Amino acid sequence: MAYYMVSKFVNAGRVRAEQLTPEVFDFIFFGKGEAGYVCAKAGVERSLLDEIRSEFLYWYPVDLRNSAKDLVGNHLTFFIFHHVALFEEQYWPRAIGVNGFMLIEGDKISKSKGNFVPLWKACAQFGADAVRCTLLLGGEGMDDPDWRGDNLRDVQSRLESFLRLVEGMAERPNMQSANGHLENWLMGRLALKAKSVADAVENLKTRTAVSIALYDLWNDIRWYERRADQPNTSALKSFVTNWIRVLSPFAPHLSEEAAKKIGFDGLVASTEWPEPMPEGSLGRDDELEALIKQTLEDTQEILTTTKLTPKRVHYYAAAKWKWRVYSEALNRAISRPETLDGLIRDMLAAKAGTVKDLPKFAAKVVQQVRTMPNELRTRRSEMGEVEEKTLLYGAKTFLQRELSTEILVHGEDDESLYDPKARARAAEPYRPAIFVE
């Protein structure tokens, strides 16, 4: 590496190879020797010798040496050995980067096979953004990136669909309809995914970053439009505008074009990254929406397994006493886990549930909270009781649309409860009981 500082002068014809005596190298690399004597002996101008020495001091130490992974066992190892042997520590390399090999359809690129695609040709044929995203999605970490035609076509299709989505969104009139927590959930998902993309890029996880930016955010906006009774187009446009920012580092040309179509001023590349949302509100909205999604999936699984054609579907939200036991178990698991064993006794004393039902339910809840991830346990503890019945009722139109049947929502402890198969007793917090009639 150090010779690169000298070779440019040799290649330019400013110094001849025979003039590079040991004394010249000692002066350039170590500052040793009397300059006048070294110049006279080698026949080199003093100004040239000082210039080469300055070049070395400017570029050293090497901040990053990047090379292929097959050189770890030889070139890169000796790169370290030589620098430690020859130079003082202040000139030792600061970092070494290692990259893999590019594959095409699972095979190594080889001139003999002729299975290579020049970069300029790929960009001309498929577009720079599609090429960039395909390469970034092709591998991560020490994996060799694999260029595959199917992946490229999928990326092209997704980018084109994204542009069409933006064009369609730009033509929609602004509507400020409200859909409960859904608008906050949508923007919260954007903020959460933007942070995940930024974190992935910081850790050089390119495949993760592009996958989130190109695919995960697409899933979120599709779920919102599927869920909302009357989508809020203002919220959607705000989501898309920020989505363009997140996609910009990976598909910059498409992002700038999309931004103009939706009325964005200036260059997307010059704007700030989407700001994070308060974690408390984001976690609550995510939990509420996850509850609805899980309830729908549970119902669909029942219908698929039983092959029933429902006249109506009944949902039973957990009774108040179950929520009290659940919340108490969460709080104890966080603050005083050693008292979980006394939960049944304490809840019976507080008359939360009956002697018949409480022990079995409490034992199940204790097992759940003990095995629950800390983040989820803390979030649900902070949320407290969820008005499940109200939440399910608010999603009634959506559930009816998805299941093509009438939906009825009950509370487990409702008076005059319609429950011919006694399914309500199976209701748990975050897991309503289901009866298909």
Q: For 62-89, write each residue's pLDDT tens digit.
A: 999 998 888 888 999 999 999 999 999 9
Please name which of 412, 418, 417, 370 lies closest in space to residue 392, comparing C-alpha atoms.
Answer: 412
Percent of residues, the chain, with pLDDT higher than 90:
62
User: What is the model's pLDDT at position 339?
Assistant: 62
User: What is the model's pLDDT at position 353?
Assistant: 65
pLDDT at 265 over 90: no
Mean pLDDT of 239-253: 95
User: What is the model's pLDDT at position 143?
Assistant: 79
Query: How many Å apart are CA 217 and CA 255, to the nearest integer?
Result: 15
pLDDT at 433 over 80: yes
Mean pLDDT of 374-382: 89
pLDDT at 42 over 80: yes
Tens digits of residue pLDDT in 11-24: 999 999 999 999 99
Tens digits of residue pLDDT in 280-292: 566 888 899 999 9
- Residue boundaries of the structural domains of the chain: 4-99, 107-270, 292-436
Radius of gyration over alpha carbons of the chain, in Å? Answer: 32
Tens digits of residue pLDDT in 166-185: 999 998 888 788 788 899 99
User: What is the model's pLDDT at position 167?
Assistant: 94
Phi, psi of 266 (to 5 degrees): 80, -170
User: What is the model's pLDDT at position 142?
Assistant: 73
CATH superfamily of 107-270: Isoleucyl-tRNA Synthetase; Domain 1 (1.10.730.10)
User: What is the model's pLDDT at position 342?
Assistant: 75
Query: How many Å apart are CA 265 and CA 243, to the nearest integer?
Result: 15
User: What is the model's pLDDT at position 358?
Assistant: 80
Confidence band (pLDDT; 50, 70, 90) for 404?
A: very high
Mean pLDDT of 256-264: 92
pLDDT at 141 over 80: no
Query: How many Å apart are CA 400 and CA 101, to the nearest integer?
Result: 52
Tens digits of residue pLDDT in 208-223: 999 999 999 999 999 9
CB 256 within 8 A of CB 268: yes
User: What is the model's pLDDT at position 280?
Assistant: 56
Query: How many Å apart are CA 24 and CA 39, to the nearest integer?
Result: 8
User: What is the model's pLDDT at position 13?
Assistant: 93
